[in-house]
Amino acid sequence: MFVRFIEQLKIRLQQPLPGEDVQYLMAPVSRLQNKYLSPENYNPKKSAVMILLFPHDDIIKTVFIERPIYDGVHSGQVAFPGGKFEDADIDLQQTALRETFEEIGVDPDKIEVIGQLTDLYINPSNFLVSPFIGYIKECPDFILNTREVQKIVVYNLFDLNNEAIKSKKEITFSGGFKLKTPYYEIEGLTVWGATAMMISELNAVVEESKTISF
């Protein structure tokens, strides 16, 4: 069952992706308003994340991390494992694998990278993120890096497309700044912004993968 679905997903990821149209279904209101505005002197920093899939309890699951509170734009947010491209990285795929090992302790040699989603620009931090999808044949023994990760959240892949976990609310940041945004509620956590936009595209390709025959 799992192997067949992963093969179907591989095939789907080789085809044209849903892209921004699907990502923007979960974009904050302010981002929608500026969708077609090109940033001046656009020269983003490169980064990558890993959407890691694995079987557990007869279900395909994925993993998120909750970042600790710190003085930065992504403080406390829920994300896929990942981070910025380093000069020693061969490419962005290696960035995603390296960061996954550094943050949650999953051996890169055990991960089969089966494709990637559409790159996503994050304006507040000026990062262009490449989301990779990887598969590991068994549930990993996660090792949490407490300097970078506050909590690991494992979630059923197919439940990400459940309308019951989607909603919209106003988030208040330190300093009083408020932002209206759609979000996913996952294990009591608010998942919004770039990660929610990636989930939106992930859901689309997962659903389309189910119909592929070979």
Q: How far apart, in whole angstroms, are the C-alpha atoms of residue 161 and residue 163?
A: 6
Mean pLDDT calculated for residue range 130-145: 96
Res 170: pLDDT: 87
pLDDT digits (tens, 9 = 90+) for 99-121: 999 999 999 999 999 999 999 99
Banded model confidence at residue 2, pLDDT cuts 50, 70, 90: confident
pLDDT for 90: 97
Question: Token digits for 199?
Answer: 């989930």
pLDDT at residue 37 greater than cutoff 80: no
The number of residues in the chain equals 214
Whether this model's pTM surpasses 0.85: yes
- In the prediction, which pLDDT does 75 show? 61
**Chain centre to alpha carbon of residue 46:** 15
Q: Tokens in use for 142? A: 């996660």
Kindly state the percentage of the chain with pLDDT values over 90. Answer: 74
- CA gap 162, 203 in Å, rounded: 10
Q: What is the pLDDT of residue 60?
A: 97
Give the pLDDT score at 68.
84
**pLDDT computed for residue 41 by the predictor:** 59
Reduced 3-state DSSP string for the chain: CHHHHHHHHHHHHCCCCCCHHHHHHHCCHHHHHCCCCCCCCCCCEEEEEEEEEEEECCEEEEEEEECCCCCCCCCCCEECCEEECCCCCCCHHHHHHHHHHHHHCCCHHHCEEEEECCCEEECCCCEEEEEEEEECCCCCCCCCCCCCCCEEEEEEHHHHHCHHHEEEEEEECCCCCEEEEEEEEECCEEECHHHHHHHHHHHHHHHHHCCCCC
Residue 171 has pLDDT above 70, yes or no: yes
Q: What is the pLDDT of residues 38-82, one digit of tens each?
A: 555 578 899 999 999 999 988 999 999 999 875 555 467 899 999
Cβ neighbours for 49, distance < 8 A, ≥ 6 positions apart = 79, 80, 81, 82, 96, 99, 129, 130, 131, 132, 198
Given a contact cutoff of 8 angstroms between Cβ atoms, the answer to whether 101 and 50 are in contact is: no
In this predicted model, which residue has the larger pLDDT, 160 or 124? 160
- The residue ranking higher by pLDDT, 171 or 9, is 9
Q: At what angle do helices 193-209 and 2-13 cross, to 10 degrees?
A: 110
For the chain, list the domains and their CATH numbers.
2-24+39-162+194-208 (3.90.79.10)
What pLDDT is attached to residue 70?
Answer: 59
Question: To the nearest whole number, what is the mean pLDDT of the chain?
Answer: 91
Copy the structure tokens of residue 122: 């994050």
